Amino acid sequence: MARNGLVYEYMFIAIIVAVLAGFISSLAYYSYALNVNPACEAIKADQQALDDIVRKAQTTPVVEKAEGVYEVYIVGRQFVWIPSNIVLKDPKQVTFYVATTDVIHGFEIAGTNVNFMVIPGYIAKFTWYPPKNAEGEYLILCNEYCGVGHQFMKASLVIER
Ligand code: CUA
């Protein structure tokens, strides 16, 4: 009897190890093979650095550093993204610098792997390599509840090819 019980113990341990290995390898598959990157680089920023992002977002939000290589400056605040409309011509590499002037917002470009939190006191930096078939208008939304107007917080990204 005792020996039988032990067999079941080992069986269940083996099942648990297999399930865990399955979960971990599927996570690894999503993050590496499918290039799904939920996290961004959060750069600690003082008031001057944050003001700089606000100024760029209001004046020159899109900077083309080389052909198809862009830097985009965006500010989130209750309940808008500034700028509200971004147009990129044939982008290959897009680095977003996003800051908030009030509370936490979530920056997401629907239908892409661009999705990260924007935290007060930090500049969220994320480099996106748009797929070749990315074209047309994309919805930028806020996916972190930030107040009564949260659901109105959106902008548009247009990719021209
Ligand atoms: Cu900003 Cu929700």
Give me the tens of pLDDT residue by residue for the chain, a chain 161 residues long: 556 778 999 999 999 999 999 999 998 887 777 766 556 889 999 999 999 999 999 999 999 999 999 999 999 999 999 999 999 999 999 999 999 999 999 999 999 989 999 999 999 999 999 999 999 999 999 999 999 999 999 999 999 99
Q: Is 141 in the pocket of ligand 1 (CB under 6 A)?
A: no
What is the Cα–Cα distance from 62 to 73, expressed in whole angstroms? 7
Q: State the pLDDT at residue 141.
A: 97
* Both structure tokens of 54: 């606000």
Tally Cβ neighbours within 10 Å of residue 107: 24
Q: Which residues contact 64 (CB under 8 A, 6 or more apart)?
A: 70
Shared domain for 56 and 28, answered yes or no, is no
Q: Which residues form the domain of 20?
A: 1-36
Distances from the Cα of 112 to the Cα of 56, 69, 90, 133, 144, angstroms: 24, 18, 16, 11, 17
Q: Would you say the ipTM is above 0.95?
A: yes
- Based on the fold, state whether residues 17 and 55 are members of the same structural domain: no
pLDDT at residue 27, rounded to an integer: 87
Is residue 146 in contact with ligand 1, taking CB distance under 6 Å? yes
Amino acid 3: pLDDT: 66
Looking at the structure of the chain, the number of domains it has is: 2
User: Which CATH number fits the domain that encloses residue 83?
Assistant: 2.60.40.420
Is 56 touching ligand 1 by the criterion CB < 6 Å? no
CA of 107 to the centre of ligand 1 (A): 8
| 68 and 145, same domain (yes or no) | yes
CB of 94 closer than 6 A to ligand 1?
Answer: no
Q: Are residues 117 and 64 in the same domain?
A: yes
Task: Give the model's pLDDT for residue 33.
Answer: 76
Q: In terms of domains, do 75 and 45 share one?
A: yes
Q: Are residues 104 and 61 in the same domain?
A: yes
The residue whose CA has the least distance to atom 1 of ligand 1 is 105
Mark whether 48 and 66 lie in a shared domain.
yes
pLDDT of residue 39: 65
Looking at the fold, whether 2 and 72 belong to one and the same domain comes out as no
Report how far Cα 82 is from the mean position of its chain's Cα atoms: 17
Q: Are residues 27 and 104 located together in one domain of the fold? A: no
Residue 29 pLDDT? 85
DSSP bridge pairs for 127? 95
- Selection from 157, 100, 144 nearest residue 124 by Cα: 100
d(CA 128, CA 36): 11
Note the pLDDT of residue 81. 98
One domain, residues 78 and 108: yes
72: CB partners within 8 A, 6+ apart: 61, 62, 63, 86, 88, 94, 95, 96, 97
| Statement to judge: residues 70 and 94 lie in one domain | yes
Asked whether residue 104 falls in the same domain as residue 77, the answer is yes
